Amino acid sequence: MTKKIQVPRQSDGMLLANMLKIGKAAGHVRANFNIGGFVALNDEGLENPSPALQEIVRKDNHVIETATISKPGFSCTYIRGGSSDVKSPILDEVQFIFNDQKGPVSNEDKIAIIEAITSSFIPVSLSSSIGGSALKEQGELVASHVAILERLESTSLRLIDSGEQFRKAIESEYLKRAEELDGKYQNRLAQLDEQVSIKRKELEEKERDLDRQQKEFDNRENTHVRRELRKQILDEVKRRTAAFRLSGSTNSMRLPIHLVLVLLILVLGASAIYFATHMLEMISTSPANSLGIVVLAVKQVAVSVGFGFSVVFYVKWMNAWASTHAEAEFKVRQFQLDVERASWAVESALEWKDTPDGKMPPELLQSITRGLFAEERQSTQEVRPADELASALFGSAARVRLATGNSEVDLDVKKLRSSPNVKGA
């Protein structure tokens, strides 16, 4: 048996949405549409409609005459204006049928489909129309309005009820979360109190240990402290003497001097070789250029002498640097010995405190501490390579003329050196 209900007029967009809702409740349905009585859209998928149906829904007019969704055992048809010969301008008609012979539909599915139909389309009760004196169209209009008002009222009541339930659920969730947070806060507070208590006990224990160590340190004899300090000083001195070397910055300061001297030696040596070779070539030529040979000989002798002085100066400069380095290392080792002697002197002086006099004789103390931490003075003045070079240059002069007031003194260096009465010449 086909069930028919009168519903208010539906636009094309609203109609497709309602049919989609009913189709989801029924499951696996196909739809057929009749557009204006001339165009048929068959076997449409409501979830993925064709472009033509999408365009009709987008414009949202009233061009769909009939719309049918069906599956085995169920069919639902929407007829615009109703199925009677005289179409209603206000009401439309929805027809649906369940046929168990064509396909079984469970009672649960039937209930879900009927609920979807009645919730999607608002059934209109024509008994709600005004008295018989009114026109039929007016009665249908009033009935449609009454159905819509009843539906709005029921919808409002559901919204109010759902809002109240939502508010209660939110309050319940808030109270539950507040209780959980409060419980977590109390647990965390208890844990922090316990941790603070443990830390306080540890701190008190450390303070007691520190006081005990301080008392032990204060009660230690001066001898043990002094010996420990002496051991630390000697260990530091041994560590430094084991790898005694200059810093990188100090070594880098010597690099320019090395480069200049090596470059000077190479230039002078090359020049001496060049002048000697050139002079030999001039001697072998005929006729020989005597003046040119003399000039080249002078140049060759000059650069050779410069080459020799440069080599000697470089060797002496390196030797002076090595001597200074060795002297510094000897001073460090002497300092190590002085620390040992000073420690022994202090130990001896403390042992004399137990004697009747209570102190070491000054003569004995002076004899065992003589020369401690004192640098030895050089008896002779240090001679640097530059001084030796200058002495050699000036020493090569044959005569020296000195001005004294209004007179001059002329000294012959060679005669002074040959004189037996002049010492150190």
- pLDDT, one tens digit per residue, over 88-128 is 777 888 888 888 888 888 888 888 888 888 888 878 765 54
| Nearest one of 361, 425, 353 to 395, comparing CA atoms | 425
Report pLDDT for 226: 65
Q: What percent of the chain has pLDDT over 70?
A: 72
**pLDDT above 70 (res 133):** no
Query: Residue 133 in contact with residue 94, Cβ under 8 Å?
Result: no
For residues 126 and 110, the answer to whether their CB atoms sit within 8 Å is no
Write down the pTM of the prediction. Answer: 0.34
Q: Is the peptide bond before 287 cis (omega within 30 degrees of 0)?
A: yes
pLDDT of residue 201: 92
8 Å CB contact between 275 and 296 = yes
Cβ–Cβ < 8 Å for 368, 345? yes
Question: Which H helix or E strand runs over 42?
Answer: strand 39-44
193, pLDDT greater than 60? yes
Which residue did the predictor score with more confidence, 14 or 342? 14
The residue type of 258 is H
Cβ–Cβ < 8 Å for 92, 82? yes
- 3-class state of residue 307 by DSSP: helix
Calpha distance 289→303 (Å, rounded) = 21
How far apart CA 17 and CA 11 sit, in angstroms, is 10
Q: What pLDDT is recorded for position 396?
A: 47
Among 13-17, 74-78, 95-99, 147-151, where is mean pLDDT lowest? Answer: 147-151
Q: Can you give the pLDDT at residue 224?
A: 67
Contact (Cβ atoms closer than 8 angstroms) between residue 313 and residue 319: no
How buried is 178 (Cβ within 10 angstroms: 0-12 exposed, 13-18 middle, 19+ buried)?
exposed
The predicted pLDDT at position 196 comes to: 92
Mean pLDDT of the chain: 76
User: Which whole number is the average pLDDT over 170-194?
Assistant: 90
Tell me: pLDDT of 136 over 70. no
